[in-house]
Structure 1
């Protein structure tokens, strides 16, 4: 006999999202580190390419080097995922019809809204701190850990220093969540239709597959926004770029349009796994929490 499940309440959505985000962040951080370093390879003297970056980091700092800035991302990822699922489920509750179904357009809007909220609440400060810590790890060390880095950034740049690149982050996260939730919903429904599970829900393996597919689509659709966001959050960005549009034009003019997809390989690896992990963990936790 199949268990009956009710809709998750706000606290359950938040808790499941926080746990899923923390697990995903810790599991995939080395790929995020390499991606961010790869986005700085235009800097003279930096290692270029995924393998050279990994080799250089391991030679200079060991395995711990691949986790530089990890604390900021793991904490931020937990808060981000909790905020994302809480906001998405809340908006979905308003948009869904009497049967709980969502149209593709409303799914996109719900994802967009979740992305904007998570960008303001969690992503911008955690990503700014993470980016500066990774950049700091490849040069003269100014910061020793997440707390020291946060204090140092606020001391030298003020509180606004950890909100550097807010607008490109809002654009990136809004697009990320809109694409990720809508593509996940499409893939999830397609797999349910194809496999016809007796419970009406996918098992953990197929949920991971749907989440990984959503991650793949999200990477290629939003990579330019991710590159602009990273450049705008780097140390000294305020003196190099007037705004996000100026950053975009300088990257294209000075480095070529393909630079907007710089760091795609490690981000692809991370978001495919992260999409699979976060949706699989979230769905399983919600299943346990809402079972009667």
Structure 2
């Protein structure tokens, strides 16, 4: 039977995961957002040019523009996402902790966590992306109380792909645990569960971004468009394709793909390690 500690551990561990994700991944995220929003006819030739231009013109600290919001927001987002993920898993277990979830059940729990965290993620990401593409001090926009949830349907759509993130994480984890039990990989056989968490987390993140990246591009374009004659989220897909073609849906993909492995591998490693620590402490 799930205890209160089991239900709370995911939320507490998510805070540690969110802080890790911010420190490791925010510079890559800034480059990604700027490339996505500027498109193919903007001020940057590509990810490397964006990185170097940002450092040269604004200084290295500019790579952490908008970080103050995620510092609190990502910790809250990961607390909600990973806490709800843990509880959805417990729900699917039906109160029987001995029941081993299937890959599909892990994927469904992941999608549920994605929809849950969308309510927190939408205002955090809206403010973050607009700060990241703020090239001049006078370029500022104001939001009302409900305006900060502008883009909720877009965020819900993008977070639905957590189905593949957490489904593939379980697949990769089981695959590597199977390898560890064979005699064909003597070096790998010495690795522990923590390394499996790290590697599976990074691989799952790369899988997630390969599948959902076009939706993420459209979401960020939708959130950062001007206030005059705004385009709906659905019509933004057609707008990107009409103005830039298929390539427009993959602007900034390289820094995202590079960033996703170390950022999410580290975050999931911290989450799983903290979860184990908290649960073990409860048995002392």
Same fold (TM over 0.5): yes
CA–CA separation in structure 1 for the residues paired with 2:173 and 2:4: 18
Normalization by structure 1: what TM-score?
Answer: 0.86
Residues 1:106 and 2:93 are matched in the alignment: no
Any gaps of 5 or more consecutive residues in structure 1?
1-5, 144-148
Normalization by structure 2: what TM-score?
Answer: 0.88
Deviations 1:247-281 (A, max 9, x none): 00010111102211211111112221222011100
* Corresponding residue for residue 287 of structure 1: 276
Deviations 1:154-200 (A, max 9, x none): 2xxx223321211111110121x211111111111111111139xxx
Structure 1 residue 123, shift from structure 2 partner: 0.9
* Corresponding residue for residue 256 of structure 2: 267
Residues 1:218 and 2:208 are matched in the alignment: yes
Asked if the contact 1:231–1:237 (Cα under 8 Å) also holds between the matched residues in 2, the reply is: no
Q: How does 1:155-174 map to 2 (within 5 A)?
A: 158-174=144-160
Structure 1 residue 11, shift from structure 2 partner: 1.9
Structure 1 residue 43, shift from structure 2 partner: 7.2
Structure 1 residue 12, shift from structure 2 partner: 1.5
Asked if the contact 1:16–1:82 (Cα under 8 Å) also holds between the matched residues in 2, the reply is: yes
Asked if the contact 1:17–1:84 (Cα under 8 Å) also holds between the matched residues in 2, the reply is: yes
* Corresponding residue for residue 276 of structure 1: 265
Q: How does 1:30-109 map to 2 (within 5 A)?
A: 30-42=27-39, 44-96=41-93, 98=96, 99-109=98-108
* Corresponding residue for residue 169 of structure 2: 184
Asked if the contact 2:177–2:196 (Cα under 8 Å) also holds between the matched residues in 1, the reply is: no
CA–CA separation in structure 2 for the residues paired with 1:95 and 1:229: 30
Deviations 1:115-142 (A, max 9, x none): 011011x211110001110111x2x213
CA–CA separation in structure 2 for the residues paired with 1:45 and 1:180: 31
Any gaps of 5 or more consecutive residues in structure 2?
183-190
Residues 1:203 and 2:202 are matched in the alignment: no
Between the two proteins, the alignment pairs up a number of residues equal to 269
Residues 1:18 and 2:15 are matched in the alignment: yes
CA–CA separation in structure 1 for the residues paired with 2:249 and 2:175: 31
